[in-house]
Amino acid sequence: MVKKLVLLNFTIVFVLVISCTQRKAKISQKPNIVFIYVDDLGYGDVSCYGAKSVITPNVDKLARNGLLFTDAHCSASTCTPSRFSLLTGSYAFRNNAAILPGDAPLIINTAQETLPAMLKKAGYKTGVVGKWHLGLGDGSPDWNGDIKPGPLEIGFDYSFLIPATPDRVPTVFVENHKVVNLDPSDPIIVNYNKRIGPDPIGLEDEELMKMKADSQHSGTIVNGISRIGFMSGGHKAYWKDEEFPNVLTVKAKEFISQNMSRPFFLYFALPDIHVPRAPNQKFAGATKMGPRGDVIVQMDWMAGEVIKTLKELRIDKNTLIIFSSDNGPVLDDGYTDQAVTNLGTHQPAGIFKGGKYSAYEGGSRVPTIAYWPGIIKPGKSDALISQVDFFASLANLVGQDIAGKSTAPDSFDMLSVLLGESTKGRETMIEESFTMSLRSGDWKYIAPQTKSTPDWLANKDVASGLQNTPQLYNLKKDPKEKNNLANHYPDKVKEMAIKLNQLIKSPTTK
């Protein structure tokens, strides 16, 4: 028996060594890396993960010809924490990262090595196009001057941003250090506490609005949509939400074609399918689900345009594309936009419970595809991985040594899993929400809630997973997290609570 096990182990290691060697032989130059990061896209929201009411041909093509993950996770069930982990390789709670207002300072320490900085060291040109939501500036950003520090100070060579979220002011694009189309005679002022300036606001001027909003989203009205926060000035710089797909896709394509002759890293952070959902007229009515369905189609088109560009430039065979989402799905997130009424039989989180904001699997288990023609064999992987692992995995891919450093403390090198050479994923993984959960083998432990949650969460129709007592689920037998077994297995609960606390206190280094 022991001999057999040793032999099996040896075979696994041997196969891994062979496939790594084969891969190394096939790769003659460093690949470009394109990370397509969708906002609020749930496990069941694309057709390759089972959606029927919306069809996503471009994402499906990636899945058909790449590796589709069934148990891959963003690190948290909200945006800022997930993005923080992705770019730093560190769990967000280590930095107390939570959903940020639109005038928050940059939360990534500029002295810390980030994913783009690491890739830059490896010779990559690095760019970010799309939603940022990691703060800008070191106090309040100077919207009328140089907005820094920001992406350029943490390792990106180029940035074109929606500064926070589409539902937060300021509703302007920021390119590198400047607001795009800023008119100096109409300076931008942003305030998250009180109304400023004469512009209409949602609480008073409902007749100007394209869609109804809740009270938090009833600040300044821009483009017929009231936002979170108040803003005055910047009228010529206002974005038009319906133009997001065109504007951002053009910027992504430009970045790719300008850097096609060298290795590049593009972090393409799509604003869809976050609220407010205002599809371009090309996509309005594309599904029977209303705007939420239509912007899934829009998102698919944007992904498709980037894929097409790589093909046209004949660099697709030397580009690794990773497709994923920053948190699970949500229907009503502040605007009345038919997401609830027109849902029909669509299951945004697939079979899983919960979604955005939730401690259940629907909060962080998201569509994830790795695509690299000729290197990644098409297939499915059930390995457990987290986006926090992309840092160490990509460092290995581009030959950067981050072992033993304080860089990316929570990131495991999962390159062989990402490329489909191994199915051995993580043994343990933290899922962050308004509490903490631990995955370990077949088990999932959800810690009792200790922190208070925002008032608005209590009124939301989401299974938040927040309870005063521990929860324990056997995901293999109960993937929908229906049967809390905590009372049946007190020892397991204790063991997992201890393990979770250990991991929270000190990161397991790569």
The site for ligand NG6 (CB under 6 A) is made up of 39-40, 78-79, 99, 133, 165, 167, 216, 228, 274-275, 327, 333-334, 456
Q: Residue 103 binds which one of Ca ion, ligand NG6, none, with CB within 5 to 8 A depending on kind?
A: none
Q: Which is nearer to ligand NG6, 79 or 369 (CB)?
A: 79
Candidate ranges 74-82, 104-112, 432-440, 487-495; the one touching Ca ion (CB under 5 A):
74-82
Are the CB atoms for 322 and 35 separated by under 8 Å? yes
Q: Which is nearer to ligand NG6, 37 or 143 (CB)?
A: 37
State residue 67 phi and psi, 5-degree precision.
Answer: -110, 120
Q: Which is nearer to ligand NG6, 79 or 500 (CB)?
A: 79
State residue 394 phi and psi, 5-degree precision.
Answer: -75, -30
In which element (H, E) is residue 248 found?
helix 244-258
Residue written as tokens 């345009």? Answer: 305
As a whole number of angstroms, the distance between CA 299 and CA 318 comes to 23
Q: Which is nearer to Ca ion, 188 or 366 (CB)?
A: 366
CB of 195 to ligand NG6, least distance (A): 17
Q: Does residue 40 touch Ca ion according to CB under 5 A?
A: yes
Assess whether the previous peptide bond of 507 is cis (omega < 30° from 0).
no
CB of 162 to Ca ion, least distance (A): 12
Angle at 433 between CA 461 and CA 368, to 5 degrees: 95
Site for Ca ion in 170-229 (CB under 5 A): none
Candidate ranges 31-39, 136-144, 220-228, 241-249; the one touching Ca ion (CB under 5 A):
31-39
CB of 307 to ligand NG6, least distance (A): 24
Q: Does residue 327 touch Ca ion according to CB under 5 A?
A: yes
As a whole number of angstroms, the distance between CA 198 and CA 215 comes to 19
Select the residue whose beta carbon is closest to ligand NG6 and give its number.
Answer: 79
- The backbone region for 477, taken as left when phi is positive above 0, alpha when psi lies in -120 to 50, beta otherwise, is alpha
CB of 460 to ligand NG6, least distance (A): 8
CB of 505 to ligand NG6, least distance (A): 26
Q: Which is nearer to ligand NG6, 133 or 365 (CB)?
A: 133
State residue 200 phi and psi, 5-degree precision.
Answer: -65, 150
CB of 38 to ligand NG6, least distance (A): 11
CB of 344 to ligand NG6, least distance (A): 23
Q: Residue 420 binds which one of Ca ion, ligand NG6, none, with CB within 5 to 8 A depending on kind?
A: none
- From the list 315, 402, 375, the residue with the least C-alpha distance to 119 is 402
Select the residue whose beta carbon is closest to Ca ion and give its number.
Answer: 79
Taking each helix axis from N to C end, the angle separating 390-397 and 79-88, rounded to the nearest 10 degrees, works out to: 30
Q: Residue 456 binds which one of Ca ion, ligand NG6, none, with CB within 5 to 8 A depending on kind?
A: ligand NG6
Are the CB atoms for 168 and 228 separated by under 8 Å? yes
Count of beta carbons in the 10 Å neighbourhood of residue 25:
8
Binding mask 447-486 toward Ca ion (x if CB under 5 A, else -) reads ----------------------------------------
Q: Residue 333 binds which one of Ca ion, ligand NG6, none, with CB within 5 to 8 A depending on kind?
A: ligand NG6
CB of 334 to Ca ion, least distance (A): 13
Q: Residue 416 binds which one of Ca ion, ligand NG6, none, with CB within 5 to 8 A depending on kind?
A: none
The pairs formed by 405-408 with CB atoms below 8 angstroms and a separation of 24 or more are: 405/113, 407/89, 407/112, 407/113, 407/118, 408/88, 408/89, 408/90, 408/113, 408/115, 408/118, 408/510
- Cα 299 to the chain's mean position, in Å? 14
As a whole number of angstroms, the distance between CA 317 and CA 112 comes to 32
Q: Which is nearer to Ca ion, 386 or 396 (CB)?
A: 386
Q: Residue 75 binds which one of ligand NG6, Ca ion, none, with CB within 5 to 8 A depending on kind?
A: none
As a whole number of angstroms, the distance between CA 430 and CA 414 comes to 16
As a whole number of angstroms, the distance between CA 509 and CA 408 comes to 8
Q: Which of 38, 67, 72, 79 binds Ca ion (CB under 5 A)?
A: 79
* Interface with Ca ion (CB under 5 A): 39-40, 79, 326-327
